[in-house]
Chains A and B, each alone.
Chain A
Amino acid sequence: MTALLEARPATRTTPVAIRPQRTRRALDALLTGVGKSVAIVALLVVWEAAPRLGLVDATFLPSFSTVLGAWWDLLVSGQLLENTQASLARSLAGFGLAVAGAVPLGLLIGWYKPVATVLGPLLEVFRNTAALALLPVFVLLLGIGETSKIAIVFYACTWPILLNTISAVGGVDPTLLRLAKSMNLGGFRLFQKVILPAAVPTVFTGIRLAGAVSILVLVAAEMIGAKAGLGYLINASQYNFAIPQMYAGIITISAIGVLFNQVLVSVERRFTSWRVPVGA
């Protein structure tokens, strides 16, 4: 057998060798695609099958197709859009304010070591206080309107950004600082040319965490006192026993969360392209 295979002319083996390689690459791509979606598909299959087979009470967990139907109705009636808009506006406002405020503040605190030493324990306390525990305080001080909701999102988003920015400044490669010092680069130029670009990746980690937090906290806040928003939609649906609608609200929130994270990841990639091997 082997003797026969080896005896084949070389001209014939070349195209034969290329074709399986190409097919294998396509197969590999397909396999990764399948591999990545297999868990989600499995979850949906179980979700669809369990109520239908009577494994769970269909009243409390309607099948996935029922939920999709309810989702479509909400979309057509415009309710979904209205509530999503309300949620996104609050979420993005709080998140945006936190980015605008916490990044510069974190850079300042990180740069002035004594300030970081003094404020460190205080920041640690705030960070470890669950933002939602403070929700009643925010409502007490700012009422149940938009202000208190944006404020709680802002508050919750501030900590991951602030702490990551502070550690980003502290974590700049000391060799680069020595280099800058040897070149007599000081003050603002050192900050602009070395510290700031070196800090970007870690700052973005904080921003991404804050992105997740902004949706998490907002939904909870909307469940307590709101007339619109996805949190309100979920809560109100549950009160009215519109269970499919409740699940429709929940999957909308997951989708928004995943999407928001993807957006932040791609922004991060743009800013830190030098870290990802390009074309390698």
Chain B
Amino acid sequence: MVPDTPLRLAAVQKALEDIVAPVLPPDADFAREQLALIVRSLALVRKQIPQEYAFHVHDAHDFSAFGSEVAACLPDAHPVRGELTQAIEDVRAIAPPVVPDRTALEQAVRALRGAIETAVQQAGEDAATLRAIGPVVLEHTRRQTLLERAWVADTGFDRDPASLPLPETILYSAGETPR
């Protein structure tokens, strides 16, 4: 249940507008101008975040196609051709072929979590089923909680932050490059 970034940014924006802005002195022109820019930047970032990854992947495909067109125009023996071809291959090796719609993905995962919660709740009414499902759920909670604790460790709420792994070590498979 890590709060989504656009929601957190919306809360930051509301605090700046509702609490901070009204108490700035009328003659604090520079601070008022800065605050207005901060609020507008936050609004823009909130809007962009859901599409940001798709934007990068779009760039990857678009520029590798464009780079290929440029490469095709170059004589085979041209000294930059090899370097350009390598750069195109590097991008193609990383970029996923399809980008999921982030909002749709979040909604689908949320629905799945809800379906699991309902299943566990209803199964829990029967002691025998609960005995079977309980350890599975607790083990998953322990695993998921480790990632979520690591994700929010900088809040200072954790009793033992030094024991937490970096989120990257959980999010990316062994040997895979963080994207």
Do A and B associate with each other?
Answer: no
Point out residues on A near B: beta carbons under 8 Å. Answer: none
| Residues of chain B at the chain A interface (Cβ within 8 Å) | none
